[in-house]
Amino acid sequence: MAVRLLKVSSVATAVLASSGFYLYSKNVDFNDLSIVRFGRAAATTAVISYDYLTTLRDVQYGTEEYWAVKSKVHRRSAERLRDLCCSNRGTFIKVGQHLGALDYLLPEEYTSTLKVLHSRAPQSSMEEIRQVIREDLGKELSDLFIQFEEKPQGAASLAQVHKAVLPDGRTVAVKVQHPKVQHQSSKDIVVMEFLLQVVHWLFPDFAFMWLVEEAKKNMPLELDFLNEGRNAEKIADMLKQFKFLKIPKIHWDLSTKRILTMDYAEGGQVNDREYMRRNGINVNEVREMPLPLQNSKTEHQFLRNTLNSSPTNNTCLSSKQVVSLSKVLNQDFRLDYCRLWQSLIKGDLKGIERYSRRLGAGDLYPLFACVLTARSWKSVNVGISQTPVTQSEDVEIQTNAALYLPQISELLNRIPRQMLLLLKTNDLLRGIETILQTRASSSSFINMSRCCTRAIARHKRSKTKSRTRRLQISLSEHWSLCQIGLYELMVWLRSSTLARWVCYLLNFLPYTN
């Protein structure tokens, strides 16, 4: 038996050595091999699972020690997951970025750790960029552009953008897909699906299959840059009345599924306060730009299925202009979503339950309301328009995300896929407000409230021919908008310098018991 084992091990060693030498001679990157990528992902999953199983086994659930130990496990696991994403790149980084953006849905240890993936995206070499351009456009890079900056303007999980100049002198931005992403993405998604099923088997409360479903649906669309270009043109037409919005013109003759060439726009990130300061841009004006839904014309667009998406990834500033893309929502979903927001504004608990259930939340509708608004259940009960946002409430929400992770997992598996887009968008907007230090102004909440109020009123007017009924609907609409306006004024007064001075002076006034 020992001799047989020796022979088998000798043959295996020879095969592995020869395979390794062959791959090395062919300049194959081991990180591109499916078996290596799968092995790395499987090993990381095993280590994370083992850590949770063993570390928490001997700690009493619900104690302070339990939550402290669990927080450390969360942090270690998030760091391992981050390292896996950086090693496997491509789809793994894309999914990691998505998880990192889910503030108020996932424990803070995960979101804060995974956020760094936005700045650690892979970068393709110039030779790889030339090869993609050669394969897709049929010409050498030098034949298409008189100037092409080798250093990319930015690199993301799926592509990177280079500044270039056309023969006629126009400056363009050329978005080029990383050459290996297309081939690896479908296999990576299969790996993720298998490993998540294994984790769900080990930890029944961990139900994150929605993540794989989203990747399966969206990844092919995100890898098709022609689809992105068509969406850009559609939004450019639908939002052309907004002068601060600029959607770059697409150069179709220089665009393919892996290459998107568009007009170049100078600017900075929408969450870059220093850029705004240097260029004299008012932060309070900018905070209303990523989701421009407060204008009646834009609410019409909301009824026509549009909603802003991924502002931190797809939006930039250029002389108070915003470059943006959008996604599509169906009509029943939009109307139920608008009615839910109206109920949340008024503190109408029956309406909150009814429309949350219609949106798929079921018995988890209280959790759904808190997740959607990033407000506590106490604030939701009173009506979110009646209670200002506070830092302590934000901390409470993030703490509860760790406590109710199993319920949040179940909720995310229940709700329609469209809702995941809205939750992600809401979190990104809140993240921008936090960085710009305008969170207390509740701008995205106020804009969404106005949008939903007008959208519902317009829908009701379209369903009736009675002038009297239309007048009633319009009066009700204006009253609701006035309430929102009063709330906005109250928030502004509370945060204004004048209000702080008045409060300061009142402290010195004499008073009697």
Residue 58 lies in a domain: yes
In this structure, the answer to whether residues 168 and 273 fall within a common structural domain is yes
Residue 512 lies in a domain: no
Q: Is residue 15 one of the residues assigned to a domain? A: no
In this structure, are strands 171-177 and 306-308 parallel, antiparallel, or unpaired? unpaired
Structural domain count of the chain: 3
Q: Buried b / exposed e across 359-380, counting CB within 10 Å, b at 16+?
A: bbbeebbbbbbbbbbbbbeebb
Crossing angle (nearest 10°) for helices 209-222 and 417-435: 80
Do the Cβ atoms of 359 and 337 come closer than 8 Å?
A: yes
DSSP 276-313: HHHTT--HHHHTTSSS--SSHHHHHHHHTTEEE--HHH
pLDDT at position 501: 59
Note whether 94 and 145 are same-domain residues: no
Residues 230 and 265 in one domain: yes
Q: What angle do CA 397, 400, 212 make, to 5 degrees?
A: 95
Q: Which residues of the chain have pLDDT under 70?
A: 1-31, 104, 284-329, 385-391, 402, 431, 434, 436-445, 490-513
Backbone phi and psi for residue 149, each to the nearest 5 degrees, phi listed first = -70, 125
Residue ranges making up the domain that contains 484: 331-501
User: CA-to-CA distance for 429 and 288, rounded, in angstroms?
Assistant: 10
- Residue 143 maps to a domain: yes
In this structure, what token pair is assigned to residue 283?
């932060």
> Same domain for 431 and 494?
yes
Could you tell me if residue 101 is left (phi over 0), alpha (psi between -120 and 50 degrees) or otherwise beta?
alpha
CA dist list (Å): 171 to 125, 142, 383, 483: 22, 15, 50, 47
161 and 280 both lie in a single domain: yes
3-state helix vs strand vs coil in the chain, percent to 5? 65, 5, 30
Record the tokens describing residue 253, joined without a space.
């003759």
Co-location of 194 and 275 in the same domain: no
From 262, 281, 255, 259, select the one nearest 270 (Cα to Cα).
281
Assess if residue 513 is contained within a domain: no
Alpha carbon distance 229, 222 (integer Å): 11
Asked if 463 and 315 sit in the same domain, the reply is no
Please count the other Cβ atoms lying within 10 Å of the Cβ belonging to residue 497: 7
Question: Residues 192, 316: one domain?
Answer: no
Same domain, 114 and 252: no
Q: Amino acid identity, residue 145?
A: F
Look at residue 269 and tell me if it is in a domain: yes
Residue 102: Cβ-neighbour burial (10 angstroms; 0-12, 13-18, 19+): buried
Residue 502 confidence (pLDDT): 55
Token pair 């004499």 in the structure block, residue: 510
Residue 492 has phi, psi (to 5 degrees) of: -65, -45
DSSP for 354-371, written as a single string: HHHHHTT-GGGHHHHHHH
User: Of 321, 354, 381, at which residue does a domain stop?
Assistant: 321
Q: Do 124 and 179 meet the contact criterion of CB atoms below 8 Å apart?
A: yes
Q: What is the pLDDT of residue 128?
A: 93
Claim to verify: residue 373 and residue 427 sit in the same structural domain: yes
Does a structural domain hold residue 62?
Answer: yes
Name the pTM for this structure. Answer: 0.72
Which residue, of 321, 344, 363, is where some domain finishes?
321
My answer on whether 239 and 371 are in the same domain is no
- Evaluate whether residue 28 is within a structural domain: no
Of the residues 321, 348, 366, the one at which a domain ends: 321
Q: Are residues 52 and 149 in the same domain?
A: no
Res 374: pLDDT? 78
Q: Where are the alpha helices (DSSP H) in 150-282?
A: 181-202, 209-222, 225-238, 273-278
CB–CB of 317/281 below 8 Å? yes
